[in-house]
Amino acid sequence: MTDEAAERKMQFLYTLRTRGVTDKATLTAMEKIDRGLFVRGLFAARAYEDTPLPIDCGQTISQPTIVGLMTQALEVRPRDKVLEVGTGSGYQAAVLSQLARRVYTVDRHARLVQEARRIFESLDLANITAIVADGSHGLPDQAPFDRILVTAAAEDPPGPLLAQLKIGGIMVLPVGQSDTVQSLIRVRRTETGLDYDELSPVRFVPLVEGLARE
């Protein structure tokens, strides 16, 4: 690693820590996964800035701080099976792959899934399965999941996803009725029902049903 690259990585991790990402396992995962591999074209030079950036299909790669805070809130354990709804660039799934036994990630855009698979293979991330699917319905064939992460905003936590969460499981997702007023929440499924925590204000693309027309 060059001195410039090492300095850039140190600054990247420092920014995460100062903005609330303090979990050691999350920081280690984000140190291992190079965000620069997931940002191409005009925005590649900005891959290490703490900002969301455009990717193909009108989607975005989330701000690193948000990736860190969502990952930290999910409290992933080494034996967990995780579902991510909204593959996007693949960056979030790659980070989760460092923490979980198995990651299933779904997206309605086939082009994004294909590109993410290519990156996962190049990094030898064999514990990620990327699928073209309507994420609002989850993955019933693989349920239940220990953890579910949703990277698009719904008005309320989708019922099919809650139904696929194990007792004792955690789901983290943005909720809100518009793209200007959204909250990141954590849902814990208990023996007696669902417990909700509001974490922070966020801004995500909406959760859309159906597969995209490419």
Catalytic residue annotation? 62
Q: From its phi and psi, is residue 138 left (phi > 0), alpha (psi between -120 and 50) or beta?
A: left
Looking only at the bridges linking them, the beta strands covering 182-190 and 193-202 are antiparallel
DSSP assigned state of 136: G
Specify whether the CB–CB gap between 84 and 133 falls below 8 A. no
CA dihedral sign, ordered 71, 75, 76, 81 = negative
- Cα 89 from Cα 56, distance rounded (Å): 8
123 Cβ contact partners less than 8 Å away, ≥ 6 residues apart = 33, 37, 94
Q: Which of 186, 151, 185, 187 is nearest to 167 (CA)?
A: 187
193 Cβ contact partners less than 8 Å away, ≥ 6 residues apart = none
